[in-house]
Amino acid sequence: MKKILIANRGEIAIRVMKTAKKMGIKTVAVYSTIDRQSPHVKFADEAVLIGEAPSNKSYLLGEKIIEVAKKMHVDAIHPGYGFLSENADFAELCEANQITFIGPKSKAIKIMGSKLAAKEAVKAYDIPMVPGTDEAITDIPEAKKIANAIGFPILIKASAGGGGKGMRIVENAKEFESQMDRAISEAINAFGDGSVFIEKYVATPRHIEIQIMADTHGNIVHLFERECSIQRRHQKVVEEAPSSVLTSSLRQKMGEAAVKVAKACDYIGAGTVEFLLDEQHNFYFLEMNTRLQVEHPVTELVTNTDLVELQIQVARGETLPFKQSDLKITGHALELRVYAEDPLNDFLPSVGHLDTYKLPTGKGIRVDNGFEQGMDIPIYYDPMLAKLITYGNTREEAIELMIEAIAAYEIEGVETTLPFGTYVCEHDAFRSGNFDTHFVKNHYAPEKLIEQQKSEARIAALIAIKSHMAKQKLLRLPD
């Protein structure tokens, strides 16, 4: 494998390129017109324009990307995450054109891309699942009967869903029909597929995911868990490894279950199996993401691995360089997704110009970044600027380092999730480990963040005044 095309943009494109460069592999970037001057374009060995700014006219054009790959004589395509990373048709297109897709086979993507098909596939492996329907349903009266049998509250979820779309929590029978209509409508608009399924709603869950890696020789390992419960609108914002609530016994059980899920679909490469953990620490299979995860760096830091390097090695047909018994967790890692969003205004996207953009540096600080000072934030793509990751010997050390790193991260021109990251890290619920996916709903209010910022500003002003007065006193001292 001498040359790889990265079918993505921003920080993940650069992240993949860094590992490829380390492995002596040339890289090809693709870019849209608005990304012409983006860092990932400059970082690659070669770069090719593929279309206009909207993703459906550039980064989602599978056939165009294949055309570029053939023209540039690449051996493989790494899809990153988002865009075409979980598109079975694109994986098939790569296979048909004798280009290695750095990821699972299209069959596994298809199975795990449908929540219902995924449930069906793992049934034989005795993996715990939340009580619910086994097949897609659109008949509202029939669905209501099922909901009553399961017991409220229930969750309606789009079968082809993701990112919180086509998802509705229904507290009681009265609101069931209207919520079902909304879920189906949203699913059709977002995915072109109105099929939904119903399951028991776990009221105070934690979101725990297990990283797996599988080679083409039948070896599958898990690289332990990531805690992903700090979310807004069903999207993760803060992640960490390991979880503060998993015992070694529970960790082993969840890891073994994740490996079984991978076996259920003949999985190859890096994947993530997601679970819900209830108050009694019962875990339930949620879904499998058939790609590299945004939060993969925390796993890399606590296991001392390079997941992208492992993806490439597996794609080349190599055997995994370790066994399950070789893997262990060392230290603690924390990740904050730095989104161009306003945490004071319901996390709405904050479009603008990066007047100031300076990254924090230092021991235990990693920034996977896709922007630079002077750039505009495009409206066409996910608003994530970078991922800020900290690593320490203990959870407390990683949290304190995160607070310091956020303070040292200089951004002017757009609002970001950095202040929210500080808020989370300083909150008693997070620090104690006693939190769930409702952290934002239960503990976060913009006015609290405003008060916190005012308090910090007052302290900074007092320090400045004290420093100024001390200097004046020194100036007045006689010779």
- Residues with active-site annotation: 291
> Could you give the CA distance from residue 305 to residue 101 in angstroms, rounded to a whole number?
21
CB atoms within 10 A of CB 455: 10
210: amino acid identity, one letter:
I
Nearest to 205 by CA among 245, 258, 162: 245
**CA 281 to chain centroid:** 23
Contact 83, 65 (CB under 8 A): no
List beta partners, residue 83.
Answer: none
> Could you give the CA distance from residue 234 to residue 227 in angstroms, rounded to a whole number?
14
> Could you give the CA distance from residue 304 to residue 373 in angstroms, rounded to a whole number?
31
CB atoms within 10 A of CB 15: 24
Pairing of strands 26-32, 341-342: unpaired
Q: At what angle do helices 395-408 and 418-426 cross, to 10 degrees?
A: 150
Pairing of strands 46-51, 206-214: unpaired
In the chain, how many H helices and how many E strands? 16, 20
Contacts of 330 (CB under 8 A, 6+ apart): 302, 303, 304
288: amino acid identity, one letter:
M
